[in-house]
Chains A and B, each alone.
Chain A
Amino acid sequence: MITKRIIPCLDVKDGRVVKGTKFKDLNDVSSPVELAKFYTQAGADELVFYDITASSDGRKLFTEILTETASNVFIPLTVGGGISTIEDFDRVLKCGADKVSVNSGAIRNPSIIGEAAKLYGDQCVVLSADISLIDGVYRVFAKGGRENTGMEAIEWIRRCVDMGAGEVVVNSIDTDGVKKGFDIPLLKKVCEAVSVPVIASGGAGCIDDFIELFTEIPEIDAGLAASIFHFREVEISDLKAAMAKAGIPAR
């Protein structure tokens, strides 16, 4: 049976992990490579590297970091942030990424999904969508959750999967940062709408939030979080043990 995946997300700016970390036992707390190694040994099933730099210098540092990570960490790596063209796909895949996630880039130019899927395979193309419930309708937001596109979210996700997205990361703006649990109603809707793997993001505050996610939605494939892992509020090894105890397939 396929195990449920736990995915730490690393936001990288100018080659460093941002968001404070409490890794006193690491030599370099903001080194993406050190953190990636730590998470891998702790049992992370996959890693997401999110490039939040805008400058070309920052981008160059990001690809260097990615190359170094991929030379030392041998679990699947997904890369996102600023992906808008096939050249962007090509650049990160050459540095060792296995999957590439598109968000605003796909909103601006949806055909990128089909083009990338044809070139690299569906399994390589991850749609990441920032979603908020506005007046009873789930809407897709662009530009890091700042701009309401007006598009209905479930329809957008379905369309992207039809075009070739092999996996969907659902970021709930409404639960993000609140630490009171994942957005179960939204995630259920997405799981009903598509048959590709769905990754829940936004809202995890403790181990029980992951247990609730996998128990309430058996179809969900993975849970993603950032700061609770970086701040060591949740240890991945403890989370994995709790999952196994709850009868959730875990590695």
Chain B
Amino acid sequence: MIAIIDYGVGNLFSLQSSLKYIGQEARVTADRSEIEAANRIILPGVGAFADAADKLRESGMADIVIQQAKAGKPLMGICLGMQLLFEKSYEYGEHEGLGLIKGSIVPIKDVVPEGYKIPHIGWNALKFKGEKDPLFKYTKEGDHVYFVHSFYGADCDDSTIAVTEYSATLTAAVRNGSVYGCQFHPEKSGNVGLDILRAFCEI
């Protein structure tokens, strides 16, 4: 069973549906024993970093996620959920993340030419970094996935397993041990996205 962490952020319908579609049992939950019993964890999220980080801590979910990740349980953060895994974010101020991935979240607008559209929204190609990660077992370099974000993960070279080009090179996916993060939305990326979720379920 996959635990989708429920901390009052975002719409989890598609995520749950996509996991069900690939034959996985997924539960949206904030129950400690249920999360502990799960064999994988997904940390979703949309919206603002600070608000989500607060909710994650206030709900007690932050501690559980950190503890489970440190125990080696496969964890995947998606979109803002990926950003929350980082050490800190500079989205409207400076905010602390979970610190499971080394690096920080910074604005895209600082690295793209003026007039470039922000958010980076739409389908963009994946470029693998280093040896192809098992997460991309069923994925080809150049496959397109769906992004919606205005900030991106920086200073995370050691953890970066895929990037995408948007005038600048943006972090698309990260990994530190069994902790994974995807900036894009696998649950909205058609068959390519479903294959990435499938591969995560086999890790």
Interfacial chain B residues near A1, Cβ < 8 Å: 124-125, 165-166
Asked if A98 is at the interface of the complex by the 8 Å CB criterion, the answer is yes
Interface assignment of B117: CB less than 8 Å from any CB of chain A: yes
How many B residues, CB 8 Å from partner?
30
Whole-angstrom CA separation of A195 from B115 in the bound complex: 7
CB pair B117–A74 under 8 Å, yes or no, is: no
For residue B18, which residue of chain A has the nearest CB? A74
Contact with B along A51-72 (1 / 0, CB 8 A): 0000000000000000000111
Answer yes or no: B102 CB below 8 A from chain A CBs: no
Q: Judging by beta carbons under 8 Å apart, are B188 and A75 in contact?
A: yes
Contact with B along A105-125 (1 / 0, CB 8 A): 000000000000000011100
Contact A3 B123 (CB under 8 A): yes
Contact for A195 among B11, B117, B144, CB less than 8 A = B117
Contact B194 A74 (CB under 8 A): yes
| A74 touching B122, Cβ below 8 Å | no
Segment from A23-31, A89-97, A137-145, A227-235 that makes contact with B: A89-97
Distance of A45 Cα from B188 Cα, bound (Å): 10
Q: Does A2 lie within 8 Å of B21, measured CB to CB?
A: no
Closest to A75 in B: B190
CB distance from B32 to the nearest CB of A (A): 26
Question: Known: A197-B121, A251-B144. Contact between A94 and B17, CB under 8 A?
Answer: no
CB distance from A218 to the nearest CB of B (A): 12
Partner of A3, one of B118, B122, B189: B122
Quick one: which of A45, A71, A98, A123 contacts B123, CB cutoff 8 A?
Answer: A45
Asked whether any CB of chain A lies closer than 8 Å to the CB of B148, the reply is: yes
> B164-203: contact bitstring with A at CB < 8 Å (1 yes, 0 no)?
0110000000000000000000011110011000000000
Main secondary structure of the interface of B (DSSP, over half): mixed
Residues of A within 8 A of B18 (CB): 74
Bitwise, A205-222 to B at CB < 8 A (1) or not (0) is 000000000000000010
| Docked CA distance A251–B191 (Å) | 12
Contact yes or no, B188 A98, CB < 8 A: yes
A selection of 12 A-B contacts at a CB cut-off of 8 Å is A1-B165, A2-B122, A2-B123, A3-B124, A5-B122, A72-B17, A74-B18, A74-B187, A95-B13, A96-B14, A195-B117, A221-B117
Q: Which of B's residues lie within 8 Å of A, judged by CB?
A: 11, 13-14, 17-18, 20-21, 46-47, 115, 117-125, 144, 146, 148, 165-166, 187-190, 193-194
Which positions in A face B, CB cutoff 8 Å? 1-3, 5, 40, 45, 70-72, 74-76, 93-96, 98, 121-123, 166-167, 195-197, 221, 251
Q: Add 15 more A-B contacts to A1-B165, A74-B187, A122-B119 (CB < 8 A).
A: A1-B166, A2-B122, A3-B123, A71-B17, A74-B14, A74-B17, A74-B193, A94-B11, A94-B13, A95-B13, A96-B14, A121-B46, A166-B121, A195-B117, A196-B117
